């Protein structure tokens, strides 16, 4: 019996005659748990590091922290993190996003609190249910969205103002971010009566 884990996801764009490399994600694991995710862009000749996420777990193997680091050309530097509080059965009840400041302190930015209802069937996270992927994040001029279903996508600033929206009707689509300034945004993806919320970082 073998267990299979994703090691690499590679994205290519069609240029009209052939496929061209665009971006990829490289995964590493420790004791069957994802340890790191590295996002890389293709510069035309080589894969260049963009950022990586490091995953931390408690003694029950529940995810408790995701730290994001940006590549500065030589090494990775801390950028932000998400602190996760879980219930006794492993469901996340609170997720706090923080940014790393120049004075070596963490600044709270977003808090996501969740409550759960007891249903006869297991609850699946909306993002997992529809095979949702949003990348890269941080992003510069665009983001890719992969999903098996139609989605209504909205992007808001941290004051709650809607900045752009798009109806996605295909498995892979792109949202242009060139009109957004550098900063933190909230992206909401609506599927039927459910919503998936994610922090989006834009860095041109």
User: Over 60: is that where the pLDDT of 128 sits?
Assistant: no
Q: What is the CA angle 125-87-61, rounded to 5?
A: 80
Q: Please say whether the beta carbons of 189 and 152 come within 8 A.
A: yes
| Per-residue model confidence (pLDDT) at position 167 | 87
Higher pLDDT, 46 or 203: 46
pLDDT band at 193 (very low <50, low <70, confident <90, very high): low
Q: What is the pLDDT of residues 33-52, one digit of tens each?
A: 889 989 999 999 999 999 99
DSSP secondary-structure letter at 181?
A: P
d(CA 158, CA 131): 26
Interacting residues of 65 by C-beta distance below 8 A, sequence separation 6+: 55, 56, 81, 82, 83, 84
Sign of the Cα pseudo-torsion (195, 87, 35, 54, in order): positive
Q: Tell me the pTM.
A: 0.60
d(CA 74, CA 62): 32
pLDDT band at 20 (very low <50, low <70, confident <90, very high): very high
Q: What is the pLDDT of residues 74-113, one digit of tens each?
A: 999 999 999 999 888 777 889 899 999 999 999 999 898 8
| Per-residue model confidence (pLDDT) at position 1 | 40
Query: Does domain 8-113 bear CATH number 2.40.128.720?
Result: yes
Domain 133-202 adopts which CATH fold? Immunoglobulin-like (2.60.40)
Sign of the Cα pseudo-torsion (98, 37, 188, 181, in order): positive
| Per-residue model confidence (pLDDT) at position 117 | 65
Domain boundaries, the chain: 8-113, 133-202
CA 70 to chain centroid, in Å, comes to: 14
Highest mean pLDDT among 54-58, 121-125, 128-132: 54-58
Q: What is the pLDDT of residues 154-192, one digit of tens each?
A: 898 877 788 888 888 767 888 888 888 888 888 888 877
User: Over 60: is that where the pLDDT of 130 sits?
Assistant: no
């Amino acid at each position: 019996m073998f267990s299979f884990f994703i090691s690499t996801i590679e994205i290519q764009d069609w240029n009209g005659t052939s496929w061209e490399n665009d971006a990829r994600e490289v995964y590493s694991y420790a004791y069957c748990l994802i340890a790191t995710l590295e996002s890389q862009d293709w510069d035309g000749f080589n894969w260049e590091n963009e950022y990586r996420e490091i995953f931390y777990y408690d003694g029950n193997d529940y995810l408790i922290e995701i730290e994001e680091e940006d590549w500065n050309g030589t090494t990775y530097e801390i950028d932000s993190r998400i602190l996760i509080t879980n219930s006794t059965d492993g469901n996340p009840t609170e997720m706090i996003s923080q940014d790393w400041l120049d004075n070596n302190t963490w600044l709270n930015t977003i808090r996501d609190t969740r409550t759960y209802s007891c249903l006869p069937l297991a609850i699946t996270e909306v993002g997992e249910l529809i095979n949702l992927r949003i990348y890269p994040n941080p992003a510069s001029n665009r983001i890719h969205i992969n999903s098996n279903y139609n989605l209504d996508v909205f992007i808001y600033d941290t004051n709650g103002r809607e900045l752009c929206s798009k109806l996605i009707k295909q498995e892979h689509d792109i949202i242009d971010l060139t009109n957004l300034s550098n900063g933190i945004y909230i992206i909401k993806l609506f599927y039927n009566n459910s919503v998936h919320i994610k922090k989006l970082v834009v860095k041109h």
